[in-house]
Structure 1
Amino acid sequence: MSTFKVKVLYDFQGEPGTAEMSVYAGETLSVTRTDVGEGWWEGLNPQGQSGLFPEAYVERIESGPPNIPPPMPPAQSGWGSSTTDNQDDEWDDDWDDDNTYSEIGNSNNSNNKNKVEQSFYANEPNQNFNNQVSQLHRPNYNADNVSLASTNMGDNKGTITKKSLNIFSASVKSGLEGYILGTTKDGGSSISKRIRIYRDSDDILGRWEPLTQPYTVQIASPKKATKMGGLKSFIAYQLTPSFTNIEVSRRYKHFDWLHARLTEKFNLVAIPPLPDKQVSGRYEEMFIEHRRAQLQEFINYMCRHPVLSLCEVWNHFLTCTDEKQWKQGKRNAEKDQLIGASFCLSVDAPEKELMNSLVDVKIEENMRYMEKMDQCIKNLMQTAQDQQKKCENMYKREFSRVGESFFALGSAFEYNQQGMYSKASVDVKNIGTTYLTIAKLYEEQGKIDWQPLFDKLYIYKGITANLPEVLNMQRMAEQKKKDCERNPQVQQMALTDVRRRADVITYTVFAELNHFQQERDQDLKRALKDFLQDQLNFYKNIVTKIEDTLSQFE
């Protein structure tokens, strides 16, 4: 193929020992091959060196009007794949794209196969709600007509996060209107598992049915692997559920796909966040271990949630080791019709009708509470991050300076001793050595207490940012119910059904709020207790070292 020029938009550090080439923003490269596959191009840098670099990191430099036919449609991202069926199976990831299924591995374990085969996903066709409800009065806003706007936010560390610009983004594809008006087709007996909500009192309007068989999942042993003859590298994490004790291998992109499915299906449930994507430094040991710890926090929250921990896509993610079954489970998950508000078709909520006066007050209180919690969690996260940096830099530097000063004074005591032993000199040097040791303790301490606290708060920051959207869903459901009540064309029997479905959504929202309160009172409290214990151990260690140094003066 003919070569062409591209301009580098972002720095990229090639992995040593591979065909990857480091490129830097502003450079002009000559592209020699675009058919390498999986989002990679081959080219020459200004020094004449050849190598691979990500297509997403560059933009083509147009030299004039093209005199060639229109470009062919982009090649499928699968390595060597050419069928339409495989096109549906690819998981796009601009930072780390490759064929997904070759990494799942094969397994002859019949238990895993049976578990996947028993999974159920509804496959009813989508309904056109607008035509069926055109006679009913609609509110001024229409969530289904609001476009989903988002942008990528980045920082100078190569971290990429997505921020939604639309406050109704959680309900754009929710099917809320269809569910409230009863136009969503009920799966009926095809819903394999019912989710129960209990009402304990006016203070606790909703509570998920507790888990009867709780379990854990351990993520460990991150491993660096290669493919394409060493041209591509990736990190695979080993997950072991306690209910199977069978290890499965998953990459970050698999977690990303799972998170997208959970967010689409459960917009009335707060989904814990994943760690941010990383463009550079992905293969550094400290980064890999930190991401493992962050993914463990995500998994722990999922395992404790009464609804998320039992859903089919999560079970498929944790147990599937067969390539063909993995593909089928992925297709089934993406065809699931019980998503958004339709999820409430599988919910068994209390029959008691909710009073608007009670609900509205509690919703407003929780809105203010979530806003306050979100701000305070962000502030504490910033404090934790600042303290960790100070431990690694400022505190270490200051105590090192103290230690060096005492050590220098002890050396000065020896100046006129002509090489003879001086206890005074040794004692003063010991003070310096002690403070140098304390400086080293400070350098390591940030990873022991402040960083785990930050990772725990990161999960709750995602939850508190998500719950206001869940509360807004309840408000929109309530507004739709009021519109129906004002519409004289709605029959009384239909109005009773609308009220019931609106109450189911409200019960679901309060059940999720109740779960958050329980997590705050148990999990977050335990994390703060562990933080204090780590701080106590740290300062006890410092006191012990100073006491030992002091005892040498006696």
Structure 2
Amino acid sequence: MSFKVRVLYDFQGEPGTAEMSISTGETLTVTRTDVGDGWWEGINSKKQSGLFPEAYVERIAASNPPSIPAPVLQPPNPQNSWGESQQSHHDDDWDDDWDDDTYSEIGNNHTTNQQSIYSNEPNQNQLSYSNVDIPNMGNNSIDNKGTVTKKSLNIFSSYVKSGLEGYILSTSPTLPVSKKIHIYREGDEIIGKWEVISNPYTVQITSPKKATKMGGLKSFIAYQLTPSFSNVEVSRRYKHFDWLHDRLMAKFNVIAIPPLPDKQVSGRYEEQFIEHRRAQLQEFVNYMCRHPVLSTCEVWIHFLTCTDEKQWKLGKRNAERDQLVGANFCQCIEAPEKEILSSLVDPRIEENINYVTKMDQCIKNLMNTAQDQQKKCGNMYKREFMKIGESFFALGSAFEQNQQGMYSKASVDVKNIGSTYMIIGKLYEEQAKMDWQPLFDKLYIYKGITSCLPDILNIQKMSEQKKKEVERTSQGQQTVLAEVRRRTDIITYTAFAELNHFQNERDTDLRLTMKTFLQEQLNFYKNIVSKLEDTLQQFD
């Protein structure tokens, strides 16, 4: 049954595919809604048909109440891309907000129609994946530039009360733990500190590739990740990062998870966007590698190393069935036995809440400044220097009017001034990629961390409140009270260990970023001075 829809946002279809470009306010006739999660097929007023994102349109209400349609049978799909029945293994689907297909190929022995984003890069060891990333907008918002941002959902609102209470009161089942995570204390100054990473490593993201399937109907970008501990390249696309991030957020509510770059609908195949997305994902990966807990967790290592289809499927199912999530994750933590006094902790927690809030606001402000400067470099600054250059160049050209074709040194010198300022304008256009954009990307990571830390500190406060409640009502049950105090201390040690890691990152990684930014600024202005000096010497 067809129906009419109104277009809410502009969408530019990818050339050479079945995607159809649509414009805001346009009316379309929908002919199919079972193309795939997030895609509809329809016809525009010019009788052109094609695919477009469901989230970009709204249904036009019928003037009369519609009759109840007969139930629509789902098209047969006996096999998913793992080679097994979907009906029998719903939990094996790779569904997410972007795509209804599963992760079709894990090993490097499959081929698809792929092309390198850069002409000088060979197309080697690529993986095959499923269809193009399009969001289900149920939990997302979208701006007029095609950027999709997840709503700021409080992950603690739905389960922290029961999960935290169950852990504190030992009503949650005791779960088997394969590996203990150690926290150390260094007097009253450093209440909690994660165990140092014993085998540090790095992961490089390179060679983003565009690939297609189904005769070009579906497109996606795959990024190549190479961990230093294995030197084995794996290929992942954004939807797999998104799945990983969801698993990390579900498991670690007492650890700050770095954010992913926002999802993008329009312009997602442009070379500049793809390279910037790669750099943003690299920042995410770098933070993960430096964190003592996140860098060694099973789902992260599985994400970095798995190249076998069956093993990937098994690891994915294990991650999604993990019971050591939320407050129960604290069962994995081995903290100091020394009890922490509330008189020591409470003022520190309030102090750190104020500190993190202030940091969060200042990071936001600097991000806004960086973004503003980046725009000005590509527009206003470039335009102003080009205008200056053109004015000088026009004056130099005017000098030639009465020279009757004869050489004029004054004319050449003035025109050289104009040319130099036009070159400076072009330098401004490119410079933002060297300093302001990397600074913004780094701040984006820390903005995500400072957004998580208040929730972690509030979990500690909630656990402390629960402990005091038990102390008032325990009526001499010393065994119960001792266990409650112990588990509350573990959460407190964990919160302070995470704060300590954030401060170390601030003093090393963020400080290095500021140094790099300043060095790039210095190099830029030295380059400008050099060009002005060269122009000045031509007057001699």
TM-score (norm 2): 0.90
What is the aligned partner in structure 2 of residue 504 from structure 1? 490
What is the aligned partner in structure 1 of residue 123 from structure 2? none
5 Å-filtered alignment, 1:418-497, equals 418-489=404-475, 491-497=477-483
Change over 3 Å in CA distance of 1:183–1:74 after alignment to 2: farther
Q: Provide the C-alpha distance between the structure 2 equivalents of 1:58 and 1:229, rounded to a whole number of angstroms.
A: 26
Q: Provide the C-alpha distance between the structure 1 equivalents of 2:148 and 2:377, rounded to a whole number of angstroms.
A: 26
Q: Does 1:5 align with 2:4?
A: yes
Among 104, 107, 129, which residue is 1:105 paired with? 107
Q: Unmatched 5+ residue regions in structure 2? A: 111-137
Shift of 1:425: 0.8
Q: Secondary structure at the match of 1:59?
A: strand
Shift of 1:173: 7.0
Q: Provide the C-alpha distance between the structure 2 equivalents of 1:75 and 1:252, rounded to a whole number of angstroms.
A: 28
What is the aligned partner in structure 1 of residue 258 from structure 2? 272
Q: Secondary structure at the match of 1:448?
A: coil
Q: Secondary structure at the match of 2:437?
A: helix
What is the aligned partner in structure 2 of residue 524 from structure 1? 510
Change over 3 Å in CA distance of 1:157–1:490 after alignment to 2: farther
- Which is further off, 544-553 or 301-310? 544-553
Among 161, 169, 189, which residue is 1:181 paired with? 169
- The percentage of counterpart residues that share the same residue type is 73
Q: Does the Cα contact within 8 Å between 1:4 and 1:32 map onto a contact in 2?
A: yes
What is the aligned partner in structure 1 of residue 127 from structure 2? none
Q: Provide the C-alpha distance between the structure 2 equivalents of 1:478 and 1:532, rounded to a whole number of angstroms.
A: 44
What is the aligned partner in structure 2 of residue 399 from structure 1? 385
Q: Does 1:390 align with 2:376?
A: yes
1:391 maps to amino acid: C
Q: Provide the C-alpha distance between the structure 2 equivalents of 1:267 and 1:434, rounded to a whole number of angstroms.
A: 55
Q: Structure 1, residues 243-272: CA drift from partner, whole Å, max 9, x if none?
A: 111111111110000000000100000000
Shift of 1:61: 3.5
Shift of 1:73: 6.8
Q: Provide the C-alpha distance between the structure 2 equivalents of 1:444 and 1:362, rounded to a whole number of angstroms.
A: 45
5 Å-filtered alignment, 1:301-316, equals 301-316=287-302
Q: Provide the C-alpha distance between the structure 2 equivalents of 1:35 and 1:151, rounded to a whole number of angstroms.
A: 21
Q: Does 1:318 align with 2:304?
A: yes
Q: Does the Cα contact within 8 Å between 2:204 and 2:282 map onto a contact in 1?
A: yes
Q: Provide the C-alpha distance between the structure 2 equivalents of 1:229 and 1:324, rounded to a whole number of angstroms.
A: 26
What is the aligned partner in structure 1 of residue 160 from structure 2? 172
What is the aligned partner in structure 2 of residue 163 from structure 1? 151
Structure with more relative contact order (C-alpha pairs < 8 Å, separation 6 or more)? 1
Shift of 1:29: 1.6
Q: Provide the C-alpha distance between the structure 2 equivalents of 1:107 and 1:320, rounded to a whole number of angstroms.
A: 14
Q: Provide the C-alpha distance between the structure 2 equivalents of 1:70 and 1:36, rounded to a whole number of angstroms.
A: 17
1:184 maps to amino acid: S
Q: Does the Cα contact within 8 Å between 1:38 and 1:78 map onto a contact in 2?
A: no
- Which is further off, 190-199 or 32-41? 32-41
Shift of 1:414: 1.1
Q: Provide the C-alpha distance between the structure 2 equivalents of 1:362 and 1:531, rounded to a whole number of angstroms.
A: 33
Q: Does the Cα contact within 8 Å between 2:95 and 2:102 map onto a contact in 1?
A: no
Shift of 1:42: 2.2
Change over 3 Å in CA distance of 1:488–1:353 after alignment to 2: closer
Shift of 1:192: 1.4
Change over 3 Å in CA distance of 1:67–1:207 after alignment to 2: closer
Q: Secondary structure at the match of 1:380?
A: helix
1:20 maps to amino acid: E
What is the aligned partner in structure 2 of residue 145 from structure 1? none
Shift of 1:489: 4.2
Change over 3 Å in CA distance of 1:544–1:213 after alignment to 2: same
Shift of 1:38: 4.3
TM-score (norm 1): 0.88
Shift of 1:170: 7.8
Q: What CA RMSD, in Å, does the superposition of the two structures yield over aligned residues?
A: 2.1
Change over 3 Å in CA distance of 1:359–1:330 after alignment to 2: same
Q: Provide the C-alpha distance between the structure 1 equivalents of 2:260 and 2:142, rounded to a whole number of angstroms.
A: 16
Q: Does the Cα contact within 8 Å between 1:205 and 1:507 map onto a contact in 2?
A: yes
Count of residue pairs the alignment pairs up:
509
Shift of 1:62: 4.5
Q: Provide the C-alpha distance between the structure 2 equivalents of 1:104 and 1:54, rounded to a whole number of angstroms.
A: 27
Shift of 1:410: 0.9
Q: Provide the C-alpha distance between the structure 2 equivalents of 1:42 and 1:212, rounded to a whole number of angstroms.
A: 53
Q: Does 1:46 align with 2:49?
A: no
Q: Secondary structure at the match of 2:224?
A: strand
Q: Provide the C-alpha distance between the structure 2 equivalents of 1:207 and 1:152, rounded to a whole number of angstroms.
A: 36
1:27 maps to amino acid: E
Change over 3 Å in CA distance of 1:476–1:251 after alignment to 2: same
Shift of 1:28: 1.9
Q: Secondary structure at the match of 2:29?
A: strand
Q: Provide the C-alpha distance between the structure 1 equivalents of 2:216 and 2:48, rounded to a whole number of angstroms.
A: 19
Q: Secondary structure at the match of 2:349?
A: helix
What is the aligned partner in structure 2 of residue 65 from structure 1? 66
